[in-house]
A and B are shown apart, each in its own frame.
Chain A
Amino acid sequence: MSVLAAATIHVRVGASDWGAVGPELILGATVLVLLLVDAFVPRRVREVSTWISLIALVAAFLDVYFLWSHGDSNALYGQITSDKFAIFFDGVIIVSAVLAVLLSESYIVSSSFDPGEYYALLLASAVGMMLMAAGNSLMILFLALELLSLSLYILAGFERSSPRSQESGFKYFLLSSFASAFLIYGMALIYGATGSTQLVAIGHCLHGSGCPANVTENPLLLVGIGLMVVGFAFKISAVPFHMWTPDVYEGAPTPITAFMSVTTKAAVFAAFVRVFNFSLNAAHSHWFPLLWGVAVATMIFGNLFALAQSNMKRMLAYSGVAHGGYILVALLANSPAGATAVVFYFLAYAFMNIGAFMLVSILESNGQVGDDISSYRGLWQRNPFLAGCTTVFLFSLAGIPPFAGFFAKYLALAAIVQAGHTELAIIAVLTSLISVYYYLRVVVVMVLQPGEVQAQETRMSGMAEMAVTASVAGTIGLGIIPTGFYNLATQSVDALRTAFGI
């Protein structure tokens, strides 16, 4: 009956291909399950969605653990890789997601939206982030970036009762799409220069196989890299593309802020390392000056702006900007050591930064104003455990030993000094010193200033307590015994080096 001669087209996608995206598939399927739960299960018992999300995240983590030794670096027609680098970031993202879910539980009760949708979006954004870490082609990177941003746009504008939340969600949306446009324009030009969207192929092309000579001098590549830097810088809220960050962080639901402050950066930096340090390694001289300027501006202005904030969420937003600068420094080392520092930094950052947001979130779910720093007076009396933990997080963020943040920063600085850019190290150290002031100010308010006499006690739900404990354990643990995790980070970067033959 057919009018066309049907020549068979073989679809070469097997179990190992899907296995490579196992964690993503688990979470993606959970998104669907959550939607069905939301649709069919009466609202009274919808706490189940919290549990479903947690179980799925644990399952995904187990799969990650399994994939660590069974990864496939060339799955699904080379679009996806589950090398150790991707897997490591998957782990970081899953851990952050677990913390965010634990934190959200008490938040959801007091908010106006359906838990199913909320968790579905949270997990969908996690899938996007993981795909971004695992993406082996520009196409996947773009798709994953949009998946995570789109979910976060909705989450940021989710609090329907508050116009501020919605407006910040929308602003985030506009600016982020604007940045995406730059990003894909850059991708398009790089595709034009190298003839491929696959990162490994681009890397090979730039190293002179299958491409004309001087391809690294191709102006298309040059402009493409510039535009991509703009796009990526927007997404990691590097100066001068950081304007949206404080507004959005302030307006979004706090558990979401905590989550996105870490994981968006983690995902984008994973892609950053893969693209710039490895795929575009041969064009190093093109992107280095651009990113150098961005990194310096980010460190200086991020910290200076943070100084001026009296709102905790805004302060943490600017502190996040500044940390982006430190991580950029590690990236600029353009060496395995630098990449390892980036990887390790995010592990540390996940615990300490989400931890710092927990305070805000817990106070909010207590019905107390959570984000003005002056409202933390006397927290030490009200809840010594929470105050103590927050002190640990802030110390760690400031880079004070013996916490995780110190070691992370140390690795970054060591890498950049080793790469011969001492000026960046000096700027990083000086700006870190500035940051100590604004972190310690919070601690001082919390611990030393007395609160009102009849202030009510600050309670935490069981899940929130678990989240805080886990974060504090991570922050301290990574600081005291970093070696094991450092080795994992080194292995993950080695995997990248093998994949790109560098």
Chain B
Amino acid sequence: MTPSADHFLVVSAILFTLGTVGVLTRRDPLVVFMSIELMLNSVNLTFVTFSHYLSSPDGQIFVFIIMTVAAAEVVVGLALIVSIFQTRQRIDVDELDEMRG
């Protein structure tokens, strides 16, 4: 079967849904975060598909912007995660000290 715009859109919809499932069902924040990335990427596929079948540049540029945004988002998100564990480590130590009195 020769793929058409619909096929690409359906693939992207499936990936988007998988990402949603990941966000809603997983507890590991890193996996949740990766599921969000998966969703963003499926959107990228949608944009590129439209860009191709509409012969319009907006979609491709939008994808580039989304990539930049996603990168910035990843940096901040992972910085937050790391900082949470750093703080927790420090606070655990704090509690240990207290226990030793």
| Neighbouring A residues of B77 by C-beta, 8 Å | 153, 170, 173-174, 177
Asked if residues B43 and A163 are in contact (CB atoms below 8 Å), the reply is no
| Count of CB-CB pairs between chains A and B under 8 Å | 102
If A178-B36, A191-B50 are given as contacts, then 19 extra A-B residue pairs at C-beta distance below 8 Å, sorted by A number, are A142-B69, A143-B69, A157-B83, A160-B83, A161-B87, A163-B91, A166-B84, A170-B29, A170-B84, A173-B76, A174-B32, A188-B47, A188-B59, A189-B46, A191-B47, A191-B58, A191-B62, A192-B9, A197-B62
- A173 to B29: give the CA distance in the assembly, Å: 11
Interface 1/0s, chain B 56-99, versus A by CB < 8 A?
Answer: 10110110011001001100110111011001100100000000
| Neighbouring B residues of A154 by C-beta, 8 Å | 76, 79-80
Quick one: closest B residue to A140, CB to CB? B65
Quick one: closest A residue to B53, CB to CB? A192
Asked if residues B72 and A146 are in contact (CB atoms below 8 Å), the reply is yes
Interface 1/0s, chain B 16-41, versus A by CB < 8 A?
Answer: 10010001000001001100100110
Known contacts A150-B72, A166-B87: A178-B54 contact under CB 8 Å: no
| Neighbouring B residues of A54 by C-beta, 8 Å | none
Quick one: closest B residue to A163, CB to CB? B87
Chain A nearest CB from B57 CB (Å) reads: 10
- A47 to B65: give the CA distance in the assembly, Å: 35
| Neighbouring B residues of A189 by C-beta, 8 Å | 46
- A138 to B54: give the CA distance in the assembly, Å: 17
B: which residues have CB within 8 A of A? 9, 16, 19, 23, 29, 32-33, 36, 39-40, 42-43, 46-47, 49-50, 54, 56, 58-59, 61-62, 65-66, 69, 72-73, 76-77, 79-81, 83-84, 87-88, 91
| Neighbouring A residues of B79 by C-beta, 8 Å | 154
- A146 to B36: give the CA distance in the assembly, Å: 14
Chain A nearest CB from B41 CB (Å) reads: 10
Quick one: closest A residue to B87, CB to CB? A163
Asked if residues A174 and B76 are in contact (CB atoms below 8 Å), the reply is no
- A170 to B43: give the CA distance in the assembly, Å: 23
- A449 to B42: give the CA distance in the assembly, Å: 57
| Neighbouring A residues of B72 by C-beta, 8 Å | 146, 150
Asked if residues A184 and B36 are in contact (CB atoms below 8 Å), the reply is no
Chain B nearest CB from A145 CB (Å) reads: 9
- A267 to B19: give the CA distance in the assembly, Å: 28
- A139 to B47: give the CA distance in the assembly, Å: 12
Interface 1/0s, chain A 171-191, versus B by CB < 8 A?
Answer: 001100110110011011101
Known contacts A181-B36, A185-B43: A169-B65 contact under CB 8 Å: no
Contact of A195 with B by CB under 8 A: yes
Asked if residues A139 and B43 are in contact (CB atoms below 8 Å), the reply is no
Contact of A247 with B by CB under 8 A: no
Asked if residues B61 and A139 are in contact (CB atoms below 8 Å), the reply is yes
Known contacts A170-B77, A173-B76, A185-B16: A192-B65 contact under CB 8 Å: no
| Neighbouring B residues of A198 by C-beta, 8 Å | 58
Contact of A309 with B by CB under 8 A: no
Asked if residues A160 and B76 are in contact (CB atoms below 8 Å), the reply is no
| Neighbouring B residues of A170 by C-beta, 8 Å | 29, 77, 80-81, 84
Contact of A196 with B by CB under 8 A: yes
Asked if residues A153 and B47 are in contact (CB atoms below 8 Å), the reply is no
| Neighbouring A residues of B87 by C-beta, 8 Å | 160-163, 166
In the complex, 5 of the A-B residue pairs with CB atoms within 8 angstroms, ordered by the A residue number, are A170-B84, A174-B32, A188-B46, A192-B49, A192-B54
Asked if residues A181 and B73 are in contact (CB atoms below 8 Å), the reply is no
